Amino acid sequence: MVGKRIAASRCVTLSGLALLATACHRKIDPVIDEAVQAGVADDHFVHAGEDYFRDMDNGVALSPEEVKGRNMWLVWSGGNDRFWDRMGKPTLGTFDLLKIVAPPPGSPLRRPTRWRWLGAVNEPCFQVADTPDPIRFGLYFDQRQADCPADPFADETKYPGVMIGARGTTFADGKTLPLGSYYGWPTGIVGLRLFPNPAFDAAAEKKWDPVRYYNDPAYYQDPNLVRPYRVGMACAFCHVGPSPMHPPADPANPKWSELNSTVGAQYLWSDRLFFWKPNEANFVYQWIRTYRPGALDTSLVSTDNINNPRTQNAIYELGARLRAAKPHARETLAGGGLDNAQFNQVVRTGWLTDFFQKPATVWTPHVLKDGADSVGALGALNRVFLNIGLFSEEWLRHFNPVVGGKPPSPIRIADARAHSAYWRATEKGTPAIALFFLKAAQPDRLADAPGGRALLAPQAALVSHGADVFAQSCARCHSSKQPDRVPSDVKTSAGDYLDGTHRWWRWTQSGDYQTQMRAIVHRPDFLADNYLSTDRRIPVTLLRTNLCSPLATNAIAGNIWDNFSSQTYKTLPAVGTVSVINPFTGQPAAYKMPGGGRGYTRVPSLISLWSTAPYLVNNTVGPFSPDPSVATRYREFQSSIEQMLWPERRAMDSELGARAGGLIDRTTRRTYLFVPKSYLLGLQDLLADPDRGLLRQLVNKDGDLVLGPIPKGVPINLLASLQPLAESKEAGAIAGHYHQVLVALTELKKALIMTKGKSLDDHALRQAFASLRAPLLQLSKCPDFVVNRGHYFGTAQFNQGRTADERSWGEEAPLAEADKKALIAFLATL
């Protein structure tokens, strides 16, 4: 009966609208992208060969094909300007890339303060705009300096854009909306490119008011507002950063020679990106603030309803990483995964042909933090472009962006090939990106950086002993060079991944392994062609870091990235039961991890560790500074690595203290969930009578929906990681889950009505919401709230507070203080 009631009501209640209404899945008919709509074929998109960025990446000399790969990485957005223009709607108008690239006077997003406020990389050759641009519809774009050469990629005669809609229009007042280049115009921010909006027709131009666009929320929050431009995003936006080898003297005004294409956007503040005008009383803003600088939840758009910020990947030593995949990352493909491009299709001879064997075997890097990108290096590259909006005509129909509430379905590579010229052009170009990485993504050693040798000198005497400690405690995961003599029971256990990992781990604790590893680490060529990672997937029962990353569901069978994960990943065994902390009481609890791919984290590389602090997958261990100088990076490395090796020095929870075992992200003030009036138009007609009455109680005097107040100190992930949909296929489990949802929503309604119009302090508010704790915890898709825990290797915490499955990895003696200090000295040299 519970299941029948839900099926009958979930499309007409307020709770159903927010969480359940779109759960009914229906067949999706094919669509075509804007290029195909305009009659443009993929061969129209010729990948640019100008060596405009020659000074970047430490001045590495590139072949013509490698130049094309770098250009594609830095300026190709593949038509995703359509996608980013639409993201204002599910984010209720708070996210607006056009305001990021064209901020008004007084905004901290303006060029002089952009680096320290936002952490986005200012493009060389631009200066701040003092006045609005009358040609560009009264917007404040950075202005290109007269003494700089033209951006070759903006040349619409050589790279003509897609003629669709209003592009190429001259309006009655004489203003024009040009065709533009298919690479867009530079914006003054590396990785963001400007395109004419094809929807900006004469009617939209007549309604356009740049003053109201900057100043009037009723105007710029209107979901029907048509802006004159769309902003496209290249991979560079999340991967270009200040060079560790040639750091800019003035990060707000870098030179191309001071930037690197592959170090990752370590300084980007995602909360300030998604909220051009921050409001700390908005719960969603508090939620996005859990993304530390340099971290972003890449599943925020194709949401899996898990708050899961992860660092922007630095890309180093792709060749060594590929070679490391041979012993540790053999994967079997099936279904749509077989459609992924492989090197063999574009390279006929040489070592790159060794990573795919027909019909279905691939040896592959594990790119995503959970090891889910497991279909080959080219497939992983192609998925990156999808994830930033390529072929959004199709992609956005497989889920509800940002807000969720709709069962996701796989986007199929076969459909993209058949219906998207942008996809086909992207597939043609990504082999050149791989070639660029193979040449340019080289280690940045501290010894080679300005002043680096002087920083290393005081600890030089400790390095040899530190190498021994590294061989004993770290190299089993963090070296792609491993012993040749492997016991037969370790070699033959590859078929059972979890059992095989246990056997391998026990061997690494043996004297035989450590003797061999010490000899390897002390070889003069140890660092040469060493990825400093095995790229293995490590069970979270061993790693014990926050569970939200290994619980990610986007790549499991039948989900959005189904075609981009291997059958091997989809059938990984469940790792067992892990320990978590109740965020209200501090009491430990056990949580049984699901299988089917979840439960693992791939080993990160330690290359250039000195330049990449803070640490862990979410940048929660260690301090952050916006200063990219060598001295500051080294200071952050020292503080961060000490917190890794002395976990008691990590930040602790503001309420539970050390009982939490780490930091819990909580609301820092009383907050509300805001839904502007413009987004509620027509909602009344969809609601049942009881919910119409509730809605009227929850709107403010301006007609905006306001849910709250939410008390200060509430764990943010209690709401940010709620699971709205049943993910089981069993009828009983589905009915049980939706019963829990209805119980939680009923308690939420009671609490909201009880607190409406009352002046309650935070303690009283917490009491009012106390009944929600248990049902919301039951609905959490990630019940782990401690964000900076885990990776206790070499510390006393490795042996403490573990479940039986966590204890199955055995015990290890903690390192002595002197050993830790020597290890730090060695790690600084990597």
Q: Both tokens of residue 565?
A: 């994960």
Please state, in angstroms and rounded to a whole number, the distance separating the CA atoms of residues 473 and 429: 41
Residues 407, 435: one domain? yes
Between 181 and 704, the more confident residue is: 181
Query: Does a structural domain hold residue 815?
Result: yes
> Residue 332: beta bridge partners?
361
* Residue 346 Cα to chain centre, angstroms: 29
Helix (H) or strand (E) holding 186: strand 185-186
The sign of the torsion formed by the CA atoms of 107, 111, 113, 115 equals positive
Instruction: Say if residue 572 is in the same domain as residue 688.
Output: no
616 three-class SS? coil
Predicted confidence (pLDDT) at residue 2 exceeds the cutoff of 70: no
Q: Dihedral, CA atoms, 199, 205, 211, 214, nearest 10 degrees?
A: 0
The pLDDT value recorded for residue 182 is 98
Helix (H, G, I), strand (E, B) or coil at 705: strand
Q: 406 and 518, same structural domain?
A: no
Choice between 420 and 750, residue whose per-residue pLDDT is larger: 420
Q: What is the mean pLDDT of residues 254-264?
A: 97
Distance in angstroms (rounded) separating the CA atoms of residues 528 and 830: 11
Distance of CA 437 to the CA centre of its chain: 20
d(CA 48, CA 518): 47
Residue 749 has pLDDT above 80, yes or no: no
Q: Is there a domain that residue 113 lies in?
A: yes
Per-residue model confidence as pLDDT tens digits over 81-96: 999 999 877 666 678 9
Kindly state whether residues 122 and 217 are assigned to the same domain.
Answer: yes
Per-residue confidence band for 737, with pLDDT thresholds at 50, 70 and 90:
low
Residue 427 shares a structural domain with residue 451: no
What's the domain range around 606?
446-615+795-827
pLDDT at residue 24 above 50?
A: no
Residues 164 and 260 both lie in one domain: yes
Q: Is the pLDDT of residue 26 over 60?
A: no
Q: Within this chain, do residues 176 and 72 fall inside the same structural domain, yes or no?
A: yes
Domain count, the chain: 4
Which residue, among 502, 499, 508, has the nearest Cα to 479 in the 3D structure?
508
Show which of 235, 265, 295 is a domain's final residue.
Answer: 265
**Considering the domain boundaries, does residue 666 fall inside one?**
no
Distance CA 103, CA 105 (A): 7
Question: What percent of the chain has pLDDT above 90?
Answer: 75
Q: Which of 411, 440, 469 is the last residue of a domain?
A: 440
Q: Are residues 436 and 451 in the same domain?
A: no
The C-alpha atoms of residue 209 and residue 206 are separated, in whole angstroms, by 8
Q: Is 604 left (phi over 0), alpha (psi -120 to 50) or beta?
A: beta
Q: Is residue 277 part of a domain?
A: no
- The per-residue pLDDT for range 723-732, each reduced to its tens digit, is 877 676 677 7
- Between these two residues, 90 and 440, which has the higher pLDDT value? 440
The helix (run of H) or strand (run of E) holding residue 768 is helix 762-769
479 in the same domain as 409: no
**Residues in Cβ contact with 227 at an 8 Å cutoff, skipping those fewer than 6 apart:** 85, 98, 197, 200, 208, 213
Instruction: Specify the pLDDT at position 688.
Output: 56
Give the helix ranges, DSSP H, for 25-174: 34-37, 64-75, 81-86, 97-101, 111-118
- 111 & 227 share domain: yes
Q: What value does the mean pLDDT of the chain take? A: 90
Residues 603 and 501 in one domain: yes
In a domain, 789, yes or no: no
298 lies in a domain? no
Tell me, yes or no, whether 475 and 526 share the same domain.
yes
In three-state secondary structure terms, 528 is coil
pLDDT for residue 272 is more than 90: yes
The amino acid that residue 724 corresponds to is P
In a domain, 285, yes or no: no
**In terms of Cα–Cα distance, which of 460, 476, 490, 459 is closest to 521?**
476
| pLDDT interval class at 767 (50, 70, 90) | confident
Q: Are 574 and 497 in contact (CB under 8 A)?
A: no
Whole-angstrom CA distances from 245 to 56, 163, 444, 610, 767 are: 11, 43, 6, 12, 54
Say if pTM beats, i.e. exceeds, 0.75: yes
Whether 388 maps to a domain, the answer reads yes
